[in-house]
Structure 1
């Protein structure tokens, strides 16, 4: 498996950011690590082994990045006003810097032109961020695989709410999305999967809320609820990747 390491200065964040890229060809995949995670977690937690059939066959190139959770969602003792604005800088790093970088690389490797859509993937808080990116920027992200996420920003910001927190809380902004909003048609041209178990350490409530909101708005999203044996852990996420990825990679 071809693996590359990059370290580049991010204007959005005012610091250097690291990432690893797995694969030689195929559609771009953005992996967002779990809470407080690092760019090397995709490899260290053996997701490379699970994704290997699709990476080595040239169907996908996976770009694994760093989180900023320690300064934002996890920094509960900090000022929430500052924390959510720091998080928004990280979102801009992804949308304005990482996505163009990914598109340029996959275009060069595949001999493509244009702006290919990105599959965004994460587990736990990584799923929270992945789903938020998919719903906020359907112009950039055309596939979603979100496993065991929480889709209410109260998880990171408790009772604090302002316009920036709202923008990062899918259960809030999706509930207020007009049924005729152009994003609904865009979502329905794409493929999204949100999955949660009901076993140890899983918190399925906000997944149920997203499911109900999407049904009400006519948003096509595959929301799958697994059983009471399904825990919030890597062994289950491996199984879910194998189960859902063929659907997401279909044309």
Structure 2
């Protein structure tokens, strides 16, 4: 399995971004780490090995970037407005730098986004905000409402990076074309969040699969079962 390390300077963030890339061809999957995780977390925790067959067969090429959790929603040392503004910059980096580069490199018009836990938030936020660039969205035990990170503060940067808020009013036609899977489990601490997002999608008649696994907690073993299953549905 080919593994490449990449680092580049982001003009949107004014800092370097690091990333691991697995595979040399196939459908591109942008895979985010969990809360405060680094670009190597999904490899270290075995999620990449769980889908090694797809990579070795040239079916997917997986991109694992850093997030800015510690400088955005989780940075309690700065005002919520600054947390939200920084995350808006991160989203701009994804939308203007990373994802167009991935699309060009792979010769495709759309990518897949995926992630576990808070990585599921990143995957869903980008996919629903920019559905013209995303054909598949796979969330595993994701959380989707960012308001708990900002208290009573609210502005456009919060609204437009909070899928539970902006998705109900979105009329982007690509949402109805997307392959959407919300994975959760009976003992998942984010189970309610997945049901809430599913309700929003149902209300808009957006087709999706709410996959509720039995007898499993919010942890890596169930995510390593989910991810290869979900990749088998790529379209």
Q: TM-score, normalised by structure 1?
A: 0.89
The aligned counterpart of 2:41 is 41
Does 1:207 find its partner at 2:200? no
Aligned residues of 1:33 and 1:67 also touching (Cα < 8 A): yes
1:111-190 matched pairs, under 5 angstroms: 115-177=108-170, 181=171, 183=172, 185-190=173-178
- Check conservation: 2:19, 2:66, Cα contact below 8 A: yes
Aligned-residue Cα RMSD (Å) equals 1.4
* Partner secondary structure for residue 112 of structure 2: strand
Q: Does the alignment pair 1:243 with 2:214?
A: no
Q: Secondary structure at the match of 2:186?
A: coil
- Give unpaired runs (5+ residues) of structure 2: none
Query: What is the count of residue pairs matched by the alignment?
Result: 235
What are the Cα deviations for residues 100-158 of structure 1, in whole angstroms up to 9, with x where unaligned? 22122223xxxxxxx42111010001001100111000111111011111111123223
Alpha-carbon displacement from aligned partner over 1:192-247 (angstroms, at most 9, x marks no partner): 11111131x522222111111211111112122223x2111000100111222211
Matched residue of 1:37: which SS? coil
Residue aligning to 1:112:
none
User: After superposition, where does 1:59-74 map in structure 2 within 5 Å?
Assistant: 59-74=59-74
Segments ≥4 residues shifted beyond 4 Å = none
In 2, are the aligned partners of 1:26 and 1:58 still within 8 Å (CA)?
A: yes
Q: How does 1:50-61 map to 2 (within 5 A)?
A: 50-61=50-61
TM-score normalised according to structure 2 size: 0.95
Tell me which residue corresponds to 2:94.
94
The answer to whether the Cα contact below 8 Å between 1:117 and 1:140 also exists between their aligned partners in 2 is yes
Distance 1:189 1:5 in 2: 33
User: Aligned partners of 1:232, 1:53: CA distance in 2, in Å?
Assistant: 24
2: CA distance, partners of 1:100 / 1:170 = 22
Q: More strand by proportion, 1 or 2?
A: 2
**Cα pair 1:27 1:116 within 8 Å, conserved:** no
Task: Please list, as runs of the form range in 1=range in 2, the aligned pairs for 1:10-49 lying within 5 A after superposition.
Answer: 10-49=10-49
Residues in 2 aligned to 1:149 and 1:160: alpha-carbon distance in whole angstroms: 23
| 3-state SS in 2 of match to 1:6 | strand
Moved more, 146-155 or 63-72: 146-155
Indicate the residue corresponding to 1:83 in structure 2: 83
Judged with a 3 Å threshold, the aligned counterparts in structure 2 of structure 1 residues 69 and 101 are, in CA distance, closer, same or farther, namely same
